[in-house]
DNA sequence: GCTTGTTAGTTACAAAATCAACTATTACTC
DNA sequence: GAGTAATAGTTGATTTTGTAACTAACAAGC
């Protein structure tokens, strides 16, 4: 009665469902690193991502970040405010278009970025270490593909 | 000035960072399916997961689900309440331990499960179709491994 | 140059997630 | 078997996210 016979093909298990697996793997793999930027700098994930974008790509606008990382503009806006409060970045109105704000990391912000980046690098190596070089290369390629489907 | 020379190894790109890639892929790959259970049944992700666990594994307790899916008990509790309100499941106090509730899908709940499961199956096939059979098999294996690190 | 439309970013309100404290029940220990 | 600890699940307060409406600036059409 609990599991009736109408389900012929019982070969489809939840544990195999890609979106589920992806979410579980994403959550699990984020946990440890999350602890670092949270405990060490009191940052939220979106804040960390914005910081990392600025550190990685240099001066950007909120819109650029939102597009590149697919983060909604309200989230970016709030993250930028918080990072500004903590003096990790500064905003300067663009002269050519005064709606736009150019965001730049401060010296402090850049130091935080470098510190977290080092941790990220090590942590990434640790994760990749679960697999062979070829495998982790392939994994990245596949994930990139999934992330850029639409 | 924007990107100074102190960063020797600039080979570590944010786009390569596994937790970032995983999160992006997870979000992207969940979107389309999310629309279905949201639009069609007004369900939230946790609710869908609880429903799917019950459909997939039969009778379970809230604790079982929480452990297996790594969902916090408050989230499970609220999801169960909502599913009960919508008459997708029923609770019965365990006779051996009256703290415990056995959760079972109703006929309606099971119908919803079967419908969504069919969609999930098709969607999974679509995602897997981005890769070769070997690749997607490997992908699942790697994701499972990442999801079960700790 | 004025109306209309679009864009960058913010703010306000509603929905959901997180965290801590709570109830009720069972298990452990002496 | 009384007292303490542990467990299943719920509830309430706080934080974070999501959605919509908003401001300010620019762009286009006429």
Write the DSSP string, A11-64. T--GGG-HHHHHHHHHHHHHHHHHHHHHHHH---HHHHHHHHHHHHH-SEEHHH
The closest CB to that of A25, out of B114, B136, B147, belongs to B147
The closest CB to that of A25, out of B33, B123, B146, belongs to B146
**pLDDT per residue over A15-26, tens digit each?**
999 999 999 999
Q: Where are the alpha helices (DSSP H) in chain B?
A: 18-41, 45-57, 62-69, 73-85, 107-128, 133-147
Residue B90 structure tokens = 């029923």
B11 belongs to a structural domain: no
Contacts of A83 (CB under 8 A, 6+ apart): A47, A50, A51, A89, A109
Which of A19, A70, A104, A105 is the best substitution to test chain B (most B C-beta atoms within 10 A)? A19
**What torsion do the CA atoms of B91, B96, B97, B100 make, to the nearest 10 degrees?**
-20
Residue A10 confidence (pLDDT):
62
Whether residue A4 contacts residue B126, with contact meaning beta carbons closer than 8 Å, is answered with no
pLDDT in 10s for each residue of chain A, 150 residues = 445 545 455 678 899 999 999 999 999 999 999 999 999 999 999 999 999 999 999 999 999 999 999 999 999 999 999 999 999 999 999 999 999 999 999 999 999 999 999 999 999 999 999 999 999 999 999 999 999 988
Q: Nearest 5°: CA angle at A143, between A141 and A148? A: 95
Whether residue A124 contacts residue B17, with contact meaning beta carbons closer than 8 Å, is answered with yes
| Closest-CA distance of chain A to residue B94, Å | 16
Q: Which domain holds residue B96?
A: 33-147
A83 belongs to a structural domain: yes
- Whether the pLDDT of residue B80 is over 80: the answer is yes
**pLDDT per residue over B119-136, tens digit each?**
999 999 999 999 999 999
CA atoms of B54 and B113, how far apart (whole Å)? 9
- Give the rounded distance of the alpha carbon of B106 from its chain centre: 21
- Cβ–Cβ contact B1 with A under 8 A: no
Which of A14, A18, A137 is the best substitution to test chain B (most B C-beta atoms within 10 A)? A18
CA atoms of B42 and A116, how far apart (whole Å)? 39
Query: Where residue B79 sits, what CATH number does that domain have?
Result: 1.10.10.10
Average per-residue pLDDT for chain A? 93
- Whether the pLDDT of residue B4 is over 80: the answer is no
Number of domain units in chain B: 1
Q: How long is the CA B44 to C1' C21 vector, in angstroms?
A: 26
Query: Is A83 within 7 A of strand C by CB distance?
Result: no
- Whether the pLDDT of residue B81 is over 80: the answer is yes
Residue B59 confidence (pLDDT):
95
**pLDDT per residue over B49-65, tens digit each?**
999 999 999 999 999 99
């Amino acid at each position: 009665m609990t599991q009736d016979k109408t389900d012929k093909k019982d070969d489809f298990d939840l544990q195999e469902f890609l979106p589920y697996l992806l979410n579980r793997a994403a959550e699990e793999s984020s946990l440890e690193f999350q602890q670092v930027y949270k405990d060490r700098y009191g940052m939220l994930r979106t804040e960390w991502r914005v910081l990392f974008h600025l550190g990685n790509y240099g001066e950007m606008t909120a819109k650029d970040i939102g597009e590149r990382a697919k983060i909604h503009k309200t989230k970016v806006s709030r993250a930028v405010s918080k990072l500004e409060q903590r003096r990790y970045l500064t905003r300067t109105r663009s002269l050519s278009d005064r709606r736009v704000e150019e965001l730049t990391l401060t010296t402090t912000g850049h130091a935080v970025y470098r510190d977290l980046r080092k941790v990220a690098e090590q942590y990434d190596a640790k994760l990749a270490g679960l697999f062979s070089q070829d495998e982790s290369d392939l994994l990245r390629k596949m994930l990139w593909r999934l992330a850029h489907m639409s």
